[in-house]
Amino acid sequence: MRQWLFDRIVVEKFNNFFGLLILLILSLAAVVAIIHMGVKGGVMIFSLIVGVPVVLYSLGNTRFAYMVLIVFTTFMAFITRLFSIDVPFGVGIDAFLLLLLFGTIVEYIFSQNRASIAKEFSFTNPISIAIIVWTAYLLLQVGNPSGTLSGYMFGLRNILRGLVTFIIAQRVFTRLSFVHFFVTFFIALGVIIAIYGIYQEFAGLPSFDLKWATLTKERINLLFIQGKWRKWSVLSDPAIFGLLMSFGGIVACLMALGPFTWRKKLFFVCSGLLMLLAMFFSGTRTAYVMIPIALGTYVIINIAKVKTLVFACLSALIFIIIYFGPFYAKPIVRFRSAFNPSEDASMNLREYNRERIRPYVHSHPIGGGLTTTGGYGERFSPGHPLSGFPPDGGFMKTLLETGWIGLLLEMGVYFTILAVGMSNYYNSRDPVIKTYYAAFAVSFFALTIALYAKENITQFPLNFILYGIFVMMYKLKKFDSGLISKHNYK
């Protein structure tokens, strides 16, 4: 099937009966959609014209499909704001993931080389086992007497999306050459995101962004802080923008310490600094805290290296200058407030809410059920005791919805990922592989700490990047063994 699609789409460029049939269907659909739906219909049809060939080609190239998912989920919020449309892109993404999974299953069934395909997957390594156990527990939440069916069904969608993404990612990251490409691709995409966020800061918000930001009073209160707009670039909100920029900036800066050419090092340094600059304008204080956590962790695991100590001293000097220097720009002031939580009214409110809900947590060891907290709880579980309660953090959300049992399992997943990554870091001998392990493990650890105050680290496109990293945490060691054999490292 893969070869057939490749021949029809790439070799023959749709110049065949299959191509004519696809174009005829799209043309008829375009006429009907524009007549009945106007601009929204036109955008949807244009998406189909571009999307159908991409989807068909993706069935024959899983790596290409994974890159498409990351790029599309990066810009889909920007598209909705630009054209003022409300299209359920999430449904299309889920359908695309299921199509990729179905294509993989079909290819395995009809392949003459099943053993080769089977080797691409591993469900017996610690990370896979931890994710499967966590997923199984979430699926069993259907029997939670405190939950609601509508809330569970909505939560089930996110559960299955994560599992399917992890399975597909196992097939994507099977070559070291693609790992090299993925890291460069991810950082380059981060630079594009950062540049638009910096543009919003210095050139002002474009009219369509300002229209979206001022649509409701609640959104204004969230985005307009201390007389200044927080920035969100092409993403859905400032929080995910800040977290992604902090995460990407950490990865890029740590990659610059690796054994690469000076051109590659310059690319990593410039990219990292751009992303960290853009992070400031997001106003996401949790993202600010991630930086010293990541740097401190990196110094600890490389304390014996002179280069690491020099890097630590320079980083500490920059932090001291920013924190104590005579700078009073609003992003700098907000940055400083991140390290004085006791003086922050919002943090005090969060602590009050956590104390208030403590009796409920103690009486519900398996939680109140999936999708029962926050705004989604009001939508899918109205009338539930947790409905509308702001968890204000990923760990708190897990604790409330799945209980302390669920929280222990989730933390067990993160611990397993980090333990495997750090173990492989110390056991790897190839310097490039060690650089990848250090960058991924340190940045992911900082991101898990962010879950104390943020609950959206699994938003698009960060979730696809993270699942790729989860797979690489155990697969990179195999590449290391091959490189040791090839280059005869001593």
Residue 30 has pLDDT above 60, yes or no: yes
For 371-389, the pLDDT digits (tens) are: 999 989 999 999 999 998 9
The string of pLDDT tens digits covering residues 408-425 is: 999 999 999 999 999 999
- Which pLDDT band holds residue 7 (cuts at 50, 70, 90)? low
Dihedral sign from CA coordinates of 140, 142, 143, 148? positive
Chain centre to alpha carbon of residue 149 = 27
pLDDT band (50, 70, 90) for residue 254 = very high
Q: Is the pLDDT of residue 2 over 70?
A: no
Count of alpha carbons within 13 angstroms of residue 242, beta-carbon side? 25
The predicted pLDDT at position 84 comes to 83
Higher pLDDT, 3 or 461: 461
The percent of residues above 90 in pLDDT, for the chain, comes to 56
224 phi and psi, to 5 degrees? Answer: -105, 100
Q: Are 257 and 435 in contact (CB under 8 A)?
A: yes
pLDDT for 55:
77
Query: What is the pLDDT at residue 312?
Result: 79
Residue 488 has pLDDT above 60, yes or no: no
Average pLDDT of span 101-107: 85
Confidence of residue 237 (pLDDT cuts 50, 70, 90): very high
Residue 14 has pLDDT above 70, yes or no: no
Identify which of 126, 113, 128, 122 has the alpha carbon closest to the alpha carbon of residue 174. 122
Token representation of residue 314: 């320079």
Return the percentage of the chain with pLDDT > 70, whole number. 87
Query: Looking at the predicted structure, is the pLDDT value of residue 404 above 80?
Result: yes
Average pLDDT, the chain: 86
**Which amino acid is it at 163?**
L
**Do residues 127 and 420 make contact, with C-beta atoms less than 8 angstroms apart?**
yes
- State pTM to two decimals: 0.88
* Band of residue 337 on the pLDDT scale cut at 50, 70, 90: low
Query: Is 50 exceeded by the pLDDT of residue 331?
Result: yes
Q: Which of 176-185, 248-257, 279-288 has the lowest mean pLDDT?
A: 279-288
**Residue scoring higher pLDDT (161 or 27):** 161
Give the residues across from 374 on adjacent strands: 387
Grade residue 489 by pLDDT with cuts at 50, 70 and 90: very low
- 147 has a pLDDT exceeding 70: yes
For residue 37, what pLDDT is reported? 61
Separation of alpha carbons 243 and 342, rounded Å: 22
pLDDT at position 485 over 50: no
Most confident option among 197-201, 339-343, 481-485: 197-201
- As to burial, measured by CB atoms within 10 angstroms (0-12 exposed, 13-18 middle, 19+ buried), residue 362 is exposed
Residue 59's pLDDT is: 77
- Burial state string for 97-136 with b = 16 or more CB within 10 A and e = fewer than 16: beebbebbeebeeeeeeeeeeeeeeeeebebbebbeebbe
Q: Which of 10-19, 136-145, 195-204, 441-450 has the lowest mean pLDDT?
A: 10-19
pLDDT of residue 41: 61
Q: How many residues in total does the chain contain?
A: 490
Confidence of residue 42 (pLDDT cuts 50, 70, 90): low
* pLDDT class of 471 with cuts at 50, 70, 90: very high
Q: Is the pLDDT of residue 234 over 90?
A: yes
- Give domain limits for the chain: 2-118
